[in-house]
Amino acid sequence: MSSSADDSGSREGAAAHRLGAALRLRRLEMGLSQRQLARLIGLSAHSNLGDYERGQRIPPGDIVVACEQLLSVEPDYLQALRREALSERARRLCSIYDTAARPAIRRSPD
């Protein structure tokens, strides 16, 4: 894997970064710390929220819905970004699988 996201230490791609940036921007606009928002949405550790905001992890759907409600975000905006991030991850994983499987396919006996 040699994408720019991997070079930066992130496990996710550009779509996850867009989702994270949107979460962070709205949290800051609302004047909330990561710790405050984490408590409000039911996270036990604000470090998880930090991972989401940095685009290192894709938040679960229930967390995204809670953020949309608590941060007064247009319904389905963050969820659409999450779906995009999940699709991007699926494409990346399929590409990795295809690349790894090719040598094995070429070596198979006739």
Domains (range + CATH), the chain = 4-107 (1.10.260.40)
pTM for the whole structure? 0.77
Convert the pLDDT of each residue in 28-72 to its tens digit.
Answer: 999 999 999 999 999 988 889 999 999 999 999 999 999 999 999
pLDDT > 70 in the chain, percent: 82
HEC readout, the chain? CCCHHHHCCCCCCHHHHHHHHHHHHHHHHCCCCHHHHHHHHCCCCHHHHHHHHCCCCCCCHHHHHHHHHHCCCCCCHHHHHHHHHHHHHHHHHHHHHHHHHHHHHHHCCC
